[in-house]
Chain A
């Protein structure tokens, strides 16, 4: 049996082969070092989107407020729920969903959309991913203004556990990064994955308890509905939404959700690293 290959103390990214973990990790590391670049570009993206409009990025906040309030009122009526319960539930769920779906939908075209930059300026691939997640975090921050206003009209029984929302959103960002990285590489090669991803994201909105309340359906007197609702546990998005929403609405934390999210984070990053190791150097050929 051959001796195990020696791992050098410091992997030299210049001499490491194109397909190697050293180069994949070097890409992530160098991308992270260029924080001032993607930090700047992320802001730029937001200002760009609302250029020449009078209110500018405030439109992010306004459109979120209008959608969430309208849906909250609509579904409170449809499900015969108290508006005090339904509106905060829908609003926070919607804000979290905007972040998740933004990361996936834009992540699936993160390299395709940056074709020009990838082909003309040598930069780590991860720069584009960090820029995307950062931009989504900025959107999220704009949307949290709606949450703050909501707290005035619908005060929530917030406890110190509300602070758990901070690590929760950090976990969401960490997951957004691996999704964009892995799905972004795959869609660059197979362009059909792009429309598939986008319709799956749209579908998942309805399968995730955002406009409906999971607990109420599970405890429904109608056993058929309760049975059906239990299937939602298999939807990973449920756990991602809950770890942010529960603390923000002053509800008790359910550790099951955190465990599922942590497990997905680890497995996802391993998968993303494998994809990056194998296909990192191919992306500039494929875009």
Chain B
């Protein structure tokens, strides 16, 4: 059982038989009372057992520098959980995950940003969270402001932003900081077509420079532009892994 991040050296993500099991604490089993009663009464079976959702099963991956992986699968197949496993947020409950390289995730876009502070301040905080220094971020702010096209809105509190504007902000930050491992969740589809085109350009460049991309999306077109291999998840397991066209064909041919 292991997972971590480090910087320096070659960029890679290696997992072996990694599993992610979520304990689901309902109101009863999450309280101390239940566990104490369960222990004292010796009635662990019915009282203290916690239902578990097996979100990922035996995921074995070997992603090295240059990998551009598209992640496909139906809703609830485990795509977002896998991205969190690869970012080091979830450490596998069983198995191994070793992450080498600086990770920049773009997941659910509203979360992790403070709605009460301005876009500029959110850019700063996000950058600091992703391992940048304050000085490095100050140098990049203009570039990010340019790219996001948010203009004076950057001085407004984030709560005044639309979803698409938040996506612009988040994409602006991760694409400006040269991450080694870029993890994108499907939410980035919320931006308008013109901006999507513009960010594709930037993402392609970034992927060429940076080490590793894993991108979860339902858009075949977008996947083809950014990725060369694909990973198909179903019920938390890897169903297929390999050449993008190959996997997409099999995935598309699947009856729902």
Q: Which chain A residues have a beta carbon within 8 Å of chain B's beta carbons?
A: 13-19, 23, 26, 34, 36-37, 40-41, 44, 48, 51, 116-123, 189-193, 281, 284-286
Contacts and interface: CB of A to CB of B under 8 A. Distances in A.
B84 A119 contact: yes
B125 A40 contact: yes
Contacts of A120: 89, 105, 107-108, 111-112
B32 interface: yes
B155 interface: no
Interface stretch (B2-10, B70-78, B198-206, B207-215): B2-10
Nearest to B185: A120
B125 A14 contact: no
A98 to B, nearest CB: 24
A258 to B, nearest CB: 34
Given A41-B125, A44-B121, A118-B89, A191 B30 contact: yes
A190 B32 contact: yes
Contacts of B131: 34
A37 B128 contact: yes
B125 A192 contact: no
Interface of B: 1-6, 22-23, 25, 30-33, 35, 84, 87-93, 98-100, 103, 105, 107-108, 111-112, 114, 116-117, 121, 124-126, 128-131, 133-134
14 contacts: A15-B2, A16-B4, A23-B4, A26-B4, A34-B131, A36-B128, A40-B124, A40-B125, A48-B117, A190-B32, A192-B32, A281-B91, A284-B91, A285-B22
Contacts of B93: 285
A191 B27 CA distance: 9
Given A190-B32, A192-B31, A285 B124 contact: no
A37 B129 contact: yes
Given A37-B129, A122-B88, A284-B90, A13 B35 contact: no
Summarize A's interface: helix, strand, loop or mixed: helix
A195 to B, nearest CB: 11
Contacts of A36: 128, 133-134
A37 B128 CA distance: 5
A116 B32 contact: no
B111 A190 contact: no
Select the residue from B33, B89, B98, B117 with max chain A CB neighbours within 10 A: B89
Nearest to B100: A14
Given A191-B30, A192-B33, A285-B22, A119 B2 contact: no
B2 A16 contact: yes
A26 B2 CA distance: 13
Which among B5, B91, B107, B111 has the highest number of chain A CB atoms within 10 Å?
B91
A40 B128 contact: yes
Contacts of A122: 5, 87-89, 103, 105
A40 B23 CA distance: 34
Contact of A18 (B91, B111, B128): B91
B173 to A, nearest CB: 11
Nearest to A45: B114
A113 B84 CA distance: 19
